[in-house]
Amino acid sequence: MKSESEIKDLVKQKYGSIADQSKSQNASSCCGATACCDNDIVNLMADEYTSMKGYNPDADLGLGCGLPTAFAKIKNGDTVIDLGSGAGNDCFVARAIAGEEGKVIGIDFTEKMIEKARQNAEKLNFNNVEFRQGDIESMPVTSNKADVIVSNCVLNLVPNKHKVFSEIFRVLKPGAHFSISDIVLEGALPGNWKEVAELYAGCISGAIQKADYLAIIEEAGFTNISIQKEKEIILPEDMLGNYFSQEEIAIYKADNSRIKSITVYAEKPSKDERNCCEPGNGCC
């Protein structure tokens, strides 16, 4: 089992390589920068952004698993934060909705992604979109800052999901909300999947059970939790064959396990009634 730091190094290395590729290059392989699948297999998870206002093809690397900004109930003038902002795709869509009076902040811990996103923002002459390099387990953002938080297929890559949702709670304003697209499981994946680097960086092996994912959100203090969209991800057998024996593949299929993309909505209560003391005093 890899340590949290090893997992983060793996993801950073993987997505640093992907930052140098186009969407078409990433789509030709279900694992992005590593050619682990036949070239005729398109991206298995990404939804289509092209019809959305604010879409910029230079910022779309085809790495998502949903359309969180389409469900995020962003209003004109909102401050929006995108976790794992990549080349800026969801940030630019969010800006189109939040308008000139809004503010959009993208956070990513891969230096090359930040560089690419900033270049895209400069080309578009956006002065109310900024990109900050940082770990979303400890966001470089003050408390009670955001009206809306979005994220697209990123939290499954983070080892400590409890900490991320705690940070989301901290950064959202009272009464604010998030809309997050992510990969979850129903049923058990084979244990050795977590040792396959490409599958982890491709968002599959880092996923957790859907029920556990929703429980973490509730434990963090969020209310009005709902699933806005859900779809099953079907893994082609030729992809599985690159990593597993036919016997292992047969066991996986017989187990009736499911890999799903979900878009989850939840709200931070207007009043924090968790009966904990002020942050910084060691008990919250």
- Structural domain includes residue 28: yes
pLDDT grade, residue 135 (50/70/90)? very high
- Structural domain includes residue 13: yes
182-195 average pLDDT score: 77
Q: Show the domain range for 25.
A: 4-267
Percentage of the chain lying above the pLDDT 90 cut: 50
Q: How far apart are CA 180 and CA 228, in angstroms?
A: 9
DSSP for residue 203: T
- Structural domain includes residue 284: no
- Structural domain includes residue 278: no
- Given a cut of 50, whether residue 38 has pLDDT beyond it is no
Pairing of strands 172-186, 146-152: parallel
Number of domains in the chain: 1
Residue with tokens 């390099």: 133
- Structural domain includes residue 283: no
Per-residue pLDDT tens digits for 57-113: 888 877 788 999 999 999 999 999 999 999 999 999 999 999 999 999 999 988 889
**Structure pTM?**
0.82
Amino acid at 174: P
- Structural domain includes residue 202: yes
- Structural domain includes residue 276: no
Q: Are 112 and 11 in contact (CB under 8 A)?
A: no
In angstroms and rounded to an integer, the radius of gyration of the C-alpha atoms of the chain is 18
Amino acid at 257: S
- Given a cut of 90, whether residue 122 has pLDDT beyond it is yes
Pairing of strands 79-83, 258-267: unpaired
Q: Which residues contact 263 (CB under 8 A, 6 or more apart)?
A: 66, 67, 68, 71, 179, 180, 181, 182, 227, 228, 229, 230
134-148 average pLDDT score: 96
| More confident site: 47 or 40 | 47
- Structural domain includes residue 206: yes
Pairing of strands 172-186, 258-267: antiparallel
Give me the CATH number covering residue 205.
3.40.50.150
Per-residue pLDDT tens digits for 203-233: 666 788 999 999 999 999 999 999 999 998 8
